[in-house]
């Protein structure tokens, strides 16, 4: 495996790593805060997509997208926010990890905007009925919610999304350039009895049921 060869001489000392880069500017260091200031709350209120990063007790990592209408993530106070757990694949990877370690990292995205917001902190999975009753972006309370206490709040500069041209349709690849979700699933399952048409039909049925 190529990784093993590269990992043998990989950088493992922070001092060696820092020597390869300039120091961050004073502004970059100062703009990390420990609470959800007014501008951060406004951005979260406009966000319809958040990426949730977690790890289990053994350090195995996971990152998953969560979406909903703008403002589907509720800011409960200047330190705390809650993400309703919408119907998904029922693997519960993120929830298992949070239950095990009590930590999560979030990246909020606003479609069409290059700025993103990172929130890292303590996390828990809540089934509190009063909280869940407030989290109804799809019309009914969720079974649980991810609650995060913001220990680190950081506004990213727009360079990554500018470089990716994520919001510029004229720079997007043709629709058939990347494999579809069904093609990826079929490849991973490795079942010669399955056809692409069957996987597509199963995905369409799953999506139909989740939006009802």
- Domain extent, residue 45, equals 31-164
Token readout for 171 is 């720079």
Percent of the chain with pLDDT over 70: 98
Sign of the four-CA dihedral 121, 46, 29, 35 = negative
The CATH number linked to 54 is 2.30.110.10
Mean pLDDT check: name the lowest of 4-13, 111-120, 134-143. Answer: 134-143
Distance CA 148, CA 76 (A): 10
Model pLDDT for residues 132-179, shown as the tens digit of each residue = 999 988 778 899 999 999 999 999 889 999 999 999 999 999 988 999
Q: Is the pLDDT of residue 56 over 50?
A: yes
Q: 7: phi > 0 → left, psi -120 to 50 → alpha, else beta; which?
A: alpha
Domain count, the chain: 2
Q: To the nearest 10°, report the CA torsion of 36, 37, 43, 46.
A: 80
DSSP-derived pairing of the beta strands 145-156 and 80-84: antiparallel
**Residue 132 and residue 45 share a domain:** yes
CA distances (Å), origin 124, targets 81, 131, 145, 154, 175 = 11, 13, 8, 21, 39
Average pLDDT over residues 199-210: 79
For residue 180, being part of any structural domain is answered with yes
58 and 145 together in one domain? yes
Whole-number mean pLDDT of the chain?
A: 92
Residue 103 sits in the same domain as residue 195? no
At 211, the pLDDT band (50, 70, 90 cuts) reads very low
Q: What is the pLDDT of residue 210?
A: 58
Residues 137, 177, single domain; the answer is no
Q: Residue 212's pLDDT is what?
A: 43
């Amino acid at each position: 495996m190529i990784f093993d060869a590269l990992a043998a001489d990989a950088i493992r000392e922070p001092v060696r790593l820092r020597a390869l880069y300039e120091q961050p500017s004073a502004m970059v260091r100062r703009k990390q805060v420990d609470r959800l200031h007014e501008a951060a709350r406004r951005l979260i209120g406009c966000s319809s997509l958040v990426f949730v990063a977690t790890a289990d007790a053994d350090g195995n990592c996971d990152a998953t997208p969560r979406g909903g209408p703008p403002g589907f993530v509720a800011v409960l106070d200047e330190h705390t926010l809650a993400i309703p757990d919408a119907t998904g694949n029922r693997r519960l990877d993120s929830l298992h990890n949070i239950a095990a370690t009590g930590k999560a990292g979030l990246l909020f995205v606003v479609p069409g905007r290059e700025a993103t917001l990172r929130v890292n902190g303590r996390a828990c999975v809540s089934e509190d009925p009063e909280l869940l009753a407030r989290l109804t972006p799809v019309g009914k309370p969720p079974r649980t919610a991810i609650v995060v206490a913001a220990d680190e709040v950081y506004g990213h500069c727009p360079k990554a999304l500018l470089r990716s041209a994520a919001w510029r349709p004229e720079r997007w690849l043709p629709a058939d350039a990347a494999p579809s979700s069904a093609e990826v699933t079929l490849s991973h399952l490795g079942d010669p009895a399955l056809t692409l048409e069957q996987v597509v039909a199963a995905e369409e049925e799953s999506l139909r049921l989740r939006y009802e």
